[in-house]
């Protein structure tokens, strides 16, 4: 990791939880092929969008998130990834 030791101490639990969540995200998220097709489309479009959503989970999440305050989005993310509410002392 490129994080300095102090950063690793502060964020280790978050990094570990996020990394542990990757297999689940791979299972429910968009395929690599779908992402690649979207990237190709963005690169070759005459007028590319500033944002592209790939997969039904991303599209549904974006619709719901549009109407939520940031603290609610943060809470949902913590629940999904099972993150602690606060940083450890460091």
Would you say residue 15 lies in a domain?
A: yes
Query: Total domain count for the chain?
Result: 1
Question: Residue 10: which domain range?
Answer: 5-81
Pairwise CA distance, residues 7 & 4, whole Å: 5
Would you say residue 88 lies in a domain?
A: no
pTM exceeding 0.95: no
Would you say residue 89 lies in a domain?
A: no
Would you say residue 64 lies in a domain?
A: yes
What 3 state SS string does the chain have?
Answer: CCCCHHHHHHHHHHHHHHHHHHHHHHHHCCCHHHHHHHHHHHHHCCCCCCCCCCCHHHHHHHHHHCCCCHHHHHHHHHHHHCCCCCCCCC
Per-residue pLDDT of the chain (90 residues; tens, 9 = 90+): 688 888 888 888 888 888 887 888 778 788 889 889 999 999 999 999 888 888 877 877 888 888 889 888 888 888 887 777 776 665
Distances (CA, A) of 51 to 13, 44, 89: 30, 14, 37
Would you say residue 13 lies in a domain?
A: yes
């Amino acid at each position: 990791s490129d994080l300095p030791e102090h950063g690793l101490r502060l964020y280790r639990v978050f990094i570990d939880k996020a990394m542990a969540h990757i297999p689940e995200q791979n299972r429910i998220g968009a395929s690599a092929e779908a992402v690649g097709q979207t990237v190709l489309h963005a690169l070759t479009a005459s007028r590319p969008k500033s944002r592209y959503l790939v997969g039904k989970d991303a599209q549904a999440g974006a619709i719901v998130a549009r109407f939520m305050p940031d603290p609610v989005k943060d809470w949902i993310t913590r629940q999904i990834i099972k993150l602690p509410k606060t940083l450890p002392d460091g």
